């Protein structure tokens, strides 16, 4: 496995990766986009910080890339849609710089409140402007926190120690959890109107870009102070400049900007009540080490098949859960590939029901694997385990997963019902005692088939001589049978024969099997 580190990473993270057998780690910092595009095809993993922009163009050239790891919170410098389409997992380190960013937020709140930066500059210029730089206290003031995740919650905790009242807007946070944190959850408009300070701790997305513009600023108190240590562009900078020019707000403190580095001519730099720092939220030695170690372990585990955590385009699976899920992920893909080659018509719906130990974990990776396997025979390399659900949705295919507590015929069972415009096809799969995948039912017929390699799937009337006839045809073609299994609806009724063979079966041999008496259907499958 080859891993490229394209932005400077703390040595503690690099050493973790270099110590793993089978990993080759290359550190190449400050590459131009064209240079990265030229070499990215050679790498399985890419670790970045904010300097590298992973664009669609670069991802198109990344033929072997499996994982992108961002040593930091955001992933706005990665084209997530293109990564998903390519089957590349994009992950970050949401916890590694929590403390450093929260402390930077408090530093800016305090600096803004006490005019620290302005007073410092004044003294450096030889002045003693004590009366000019009087400030305001935090005690008793209301802090509005937009986004009460790790960083927002930490900021809230710090601010409470200053005697501030905390209100927060977070549509994904329950009132009960907020109460445990000592925070009042309010609507966004209420937060705008009632806060003395407003701090932002949400990712930048299409929905949050420009979240605070002229309209929102006009809802706020004229004494409000805005702080942004999250992502540039969440506050509309043009609207912010206008508010500062018109004395519409008391001030702002920014660590992030719409365009970085900031143009030296930016109007934001001309206001005394606008405190600016050059994206220092994660710039502590402790944070750099923490995110480096965190992303090194995350990328290593993902490449080694030990679990995926903190991914923007794939469900998080811990190493412990992955040990349980891994054989089911493999089973599901094999079930999907098996079914996809037998279906008649276009797929409309896929319902997957889980029973047994797998229901104790997030089954989303298993679902994605089954859908990938199912649609792969039709879509080829345009579908993968990462983009499977997105591709299905784009094609109007409804995917439903059910974790059942009902007692099933098999202790641990994955069953899929696939509805096409011509039929409904069902397949059941389980694991044998040594965790080997087995298909145990196809439509109404119980079987015990091993979904591996080349398989000849046969529908036939349950009559004597079928097995011998098929065996003779294969023997005449010098094709060795690795295994064979049978099942039937009723004695003398519809039967299924599944024959595992050692190598591909020529079309003319398949046609000879089809011509065998009482054989109704034959299909060569590669799983």
Residues acting as catalytic residues: 231, 260, 279
The CA distance from 44 to 146, in Å, is: 37
For residue 522, count other CB atoms closer than 10 A to its CB.
22
Residues 6 or more apart in contact with residue 26 via CB below 8 angstroms:
2, 3, 4, 5, 43
Helices assigned H by DSSP within 402-448: none
Residues 6 or more apart in contact with residue 21 via CB below 8 angstroms:
none
Q: What angle do CA 192, 194, 198 make, to 5 degrees?
A: 55
The values of phi and psi at residue 82, to 5°, are -70, -35
Helix (H, G, I), strand (E, B) or coil at 164: coil
Instruction: Pull the structure tokens for residue 191.
Output: 């937060």
Q: Containing H/E element for 16?
A: helix 11-18
Q: Containing H/E element for 374?
A: helix 364-379
Residues 6 or more apart in contact with residue 357 via CB below 8 angstroms:
324, 412
The values of phi and psi at residue 272, to 5°, are -65, -30
Residues in the chain, total: 527
Helix (H, G, I), strand (E, B) or coil at 40: helix
Instruction: Pull the structure tokens for residue 178.
Output: 């907020």
The CA distance from 329 to 166, in Å, is: 44
The CA distance from 147 to 527, in Å, is: 46
Place of tokens 């080759």: 24
Residues 6 or more apart in contact with residue 506 via CB below 8 angstroms:
477
The CA distance from 326 to 358, in Å, is: 10
DSSP assignments along 497-510, one per residue: EEEEESSPPPHHHH
Q: Containing H/E element for 145?
A: strand 142-146
Q: How far is CA 405 from the centre of its chain?
A: 28
- Closest to 113 measured CA to CA, from 133, 83, 132: 133
Asked whether the bond before 212 is cis by omega within 30 degrees of 0, the reply is no
């Amino acid at each position: 496995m080859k891993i490229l580190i394209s932005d400077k990473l703390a040595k503690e993270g690099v050493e973790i990766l270099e110590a793993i057998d089978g990993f080759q780690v290359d550190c190449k910092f400050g590459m131009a986009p064209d240079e990265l595009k030229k070499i990215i095809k050679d790498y399985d993993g890419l670790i970045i910080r904010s300097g590298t922009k992973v664009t669609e163009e670069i991802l198109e050239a990344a033929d072997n890339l499996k994982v992108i790891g961002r040593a930091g919170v955001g992933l706005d410098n990665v084209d997530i849609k293109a990564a998903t389409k390519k089957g590349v997992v994009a992950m970050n380190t949401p916890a590694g710089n929590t403390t450093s960013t929260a402390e930077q937020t408090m530093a800016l709140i305090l600096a803004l409140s006490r005019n620290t930066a302005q007073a410092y500059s004044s003294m450096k210029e030889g002045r003693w402007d004590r009366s000019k730089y009087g400030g305001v206290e935090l005690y008793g003031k209301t802090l509005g926190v937009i986004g009460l995740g790790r960083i927002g919650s930490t900021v809230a905790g710090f601010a409470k120690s200053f005697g501030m009242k905390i209100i927060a807007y977070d549509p994904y946070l329950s009132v009960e959890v907020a109460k445990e944190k000592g925070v009042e959850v309010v609507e966004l408009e209420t937060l705008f109107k009632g806060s003395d300070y407003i701090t932002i701790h949400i990712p930048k997305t299409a929905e949050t870009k420009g979240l605070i513009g002229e309209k929102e600023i006009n809802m706020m108190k004229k004494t409000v102070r805005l702080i942004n240590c999250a992502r540039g562009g969440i506050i509309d900078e043009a609207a912010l400049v206008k508010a500062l020019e018109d004395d519409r707000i008391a001030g702002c403190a920014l660590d992030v900007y719409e365009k970085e580095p900031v143009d030296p001519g930016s109007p934001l730099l001309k206001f005394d009540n606008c405190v600016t720092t050059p994206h220092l939220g994660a710039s502590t030695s402790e944070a750099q080490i923490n995110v480096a170690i965190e992303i090194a372990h995350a990328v290593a585990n993902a490449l080694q098949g030990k679990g995926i955590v903190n991914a923007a385009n794939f469900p998080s699976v811990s190493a412990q859960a992955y040990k349980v899920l891994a054989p089911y992920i493999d089973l599901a893909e094999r079930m999907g590939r098996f079914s996809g080659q037998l279906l008649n018509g276009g797929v409309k719906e896929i319902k997957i029901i889980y029973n047994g130990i797998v229901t104790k974990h997030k089954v989303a990776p298993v679902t994605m694997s089954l859908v990938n396997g199912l649609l792969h025979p039709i879509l080829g390399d345009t579908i993968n385990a990462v983009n499977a659900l997105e591709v299905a949705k784009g094609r109007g295919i409804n995917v439903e997963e059910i974790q059942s507590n009902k007692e099933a015929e098999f202790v641990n069972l994955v069953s899929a019902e696939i509805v096409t415009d011509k039929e409904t096809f069902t397949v059941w799969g389980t694991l044998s005692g040594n965790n080997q995948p087995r298909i145990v039912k196809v439509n109404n017929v119980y079987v015990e088939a091993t979904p591996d390699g080349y398989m000849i799937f046969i529908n036939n009337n349950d009559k004597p001589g079928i097995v011998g006839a098929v065996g003779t045809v294969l023997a005449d073609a010098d094709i060795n049978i690795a295994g064979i299994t049978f099942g039937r609806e009723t004695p003398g009724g519809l039967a299924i024969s599944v024959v595992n063979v050692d190598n591909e079966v020529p079309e003319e041999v398949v046609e000879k099997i089809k011509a065998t008496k009482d054989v109704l259907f034959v299909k060569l499958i590669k799983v």
